[in-house]
Each structure stands twice: as C-alpha cells, then as structure tokens.
Amino acid sequence: MRARRRVAMAPGGVIVAAATAACAGPASMLRTAGPGATRVEHFWWLLFGISAAVFFFVAAMLALAVVRRRRPSQGDPGREVEPGWGHRFILVSGVVIPVIILSTTFLVTLREMTALAKPLHSTRLTVAVVGHLWWWEARYPNGAVTANELHIPVGEPVRLELTTADVIHSFWVPQLQTKMDQIPGHTNEMWLQADAPGRYRGQCSQFCGLQHAHMIFFVVADSPGDFQAWETREAQPAAAPSSPAAASGLGVFTSNTCAGCHAIRGTSAVATVGPDLTHLADRATLAAGTIDNTQSELARWITDPQGVKPGAIMPPTQLSSSDLADLVAYLQSLK
C-alpha cells in the first residue's frame, strides 16, 4: 500500500518541481534585477495574495455550507430555519468587499502603470531597437550597431526607441521591465535599468510567425567603465584580417551572397537585410539565441540555415570546404 501511495504522489511532486524550476528560470519575472521589474513583482505578489485570500475564503464558506446546511424547525419538522444574517452576509461579502478589492487594485494598477512609464531619473543614453523576422537590431548614438545583444550600463536608466521592420513584435525582458509592442510605422518608447551586472534574457512576446519562439535576445549589463569601452569598440570598423586564412575569408564573404545581405563596416559589404556582422565574434549566440557562436555551429549556420532555423530569410551558401573554413576563420576574427 505504501509503495502504491508513493507512485500516486509522484506526479504531484513532478508538477511542484516543474513549477518551482519555472519560477527560477532565466526569464522569470520573480527574479528581478531592475527597478521596473521589481515594481511588477511587488504588484504580482499583491494580486496573488488577494486572489489566495479570496480563494480560501470562498472554499471555507463552501465547506461551512456543507457542514451547516439548513436544519428543520423544532416546532414544525417540515419547515426549514431561515438564518437572520444571510442577506447581510451576501450584501457584504458579495457586493461591498468585491467593490473594495476591485477599486483598490484598479487604483494601484494606475499608480504602477504611471510609475513604469517614466524612470525615476533622466536618461542619458537612447538606443534604437528594431525587430526583424526573426532577430533584433540595436543601434547606438555613436554609430555602434549590433544584433541580438543589447549592452547597457549598470545603475543607469536607458531609453529605448522600439520599431519594427516587418510585422508586430513585442520587446520583453522579464527580469528588467514590462513588455512593449513594436508596431509597423510607429515608434514606441520604454526604459530599461539593471541594478547589477549580468546577462538577462529577453524574448519576443507577440506571436510573429514560424520562428517566434527562436527570437531571443540578451541584455548585457556592464559596469559603466566596461560599457563605455564596449560602446567605443563596437563603433569601430572591422579590423583588417590578421592571417592568410582570414584574408581569404574576407574575399569569400564579399564575392558570395553573404555581402548581399550583411554589412561589415570597413569593407565593401554594406547591405542591411541581415544583421550587421562587424563584431560578430563578440556575440555569444547565433540566429537570435538559437545556437551558440562556435566554429562548428557557425559553419552549420552558413551552409544550412534552414536546418537550424526553418523559415529564416537567410539562404544556404554552397562553398568548398577550404572556402568555408576561411570564411569561418574571418568571421571569428571580427571582435
């Protein structure tokens, strides 16, 4: 019997463990790292507490109704006793208390929305973020351009101008801020702030097509000094190839379809269909978080992008093994 009970309880344990793991995941809104997300978390706990209190109150009333159902009158066995407090109880618990709860949560919601609309301090840095099918582009005031990684300084609010190059997307970093839609022909604004250095996962939260789930980006919060160094370095053109293989790879890049879609500042490649690759080797992932930025994965992405990310706009590039090796060597030198 004991063994059978353990088996019966196992699914419940699995569910609890899965729920706990989800709350502690890399994109959990309950593991906040910025003032915007902290306000959302506090509001979430407030609503959760109110909902739990209402649930247990209703459950207790149902249990009480079952235990203390109407009893026959002593004088007349066929007549049921009407409680004198029933109407007042229904009025208070069914009308007055819900009005108070809903009015309070409505006012608190308005307060939080107002607070989240603008940062506590003025913003010094503005970054333009453009959503594409299915990747992200970030443009900085000093001319730096990157993809799928947004660097910001720690402890400083950053203003974002959100647009889209195609369909509706939605920019969301659960650990830092609420979500904001990116709508064709319109620019929305929001702000981000991270309280500690780290790497925070973001995701498109508006279904935008086949690879919506693989439209991932990362917000990298650097110390002010590290951010300044990164921003300055990112605005620089690509360094000249430092090896024969990389030099040959640059020729492969500019003479094939790569240059028809991508830009590498400092070279003849200036297309804007795909991500800017000027400092590709500094990025941790490829294809908007789909695969790691390694030599083998980069080669696979170049030759078979549809096998990695079906529906991606990038076409396959047919190269000899030597040309592919040289191209990968060149791209991995772009730091």
pLDDT at 67: 83
So what's the pLDDT on residue 80?
Answer: 55
Which pLDDT value is given to residue 1? 37
Q: Give the pair of three-digit tokens for residue 24.
A: 């502690």
Q: Which residues of the chain have pLDDT under 70?
A: 1-27, 69-86
Q: What is the pTM of this model?
A: 0.80
Tokens representing 88?
Answer: 């007042």
Q: What is the pLDDT of residue 71?
A: 59
**In this predicted structure, what is the pLDDT of residue 28?**
76
The pLDDT of residue 75 is 56
Give the distance, in angstroms, between the CA of residue 113 and the centroid of all CA atoms in the same chain. Answer: 19
CA distance 59 to 76: 32
Instruction: Give the pLDDT score at 78.
Output: 54
Q: Where are the alpha helices (DSSP H) in the chain?
A: 2-23, 35-67, 86-91, 97-117, 224-234, 244-255, 295-303, 305-308, 321-331
The shares of helix, strand and coil residues in the chain, as percent rounded to the nearest 5, are 45, 20, 40
CA distances from 298 to 291, 293, 301, 323, 331 (A): 9, 6, 5, 14, 9
The label of the residue with tokens 């973020």 reads 129
Residue-level pLDDT at 73: 54
pLDDT at 328: 96
pLDDT score, position 115: 86
Give the pLDDT of residue 26: 64
Q: Amino acid identity, residue 77?
A: P
pLDDT at 94 (0 to 100): 84
On whether the CB atoms of residues 305 and 316 are closer than 8 A, the answer is: yes
pLDDT at 83: 59
Architecture of domain 244-331: Sandwich (2.60)
Three-class SS state of 219: strand
pLDDT of the residue at 3:
41
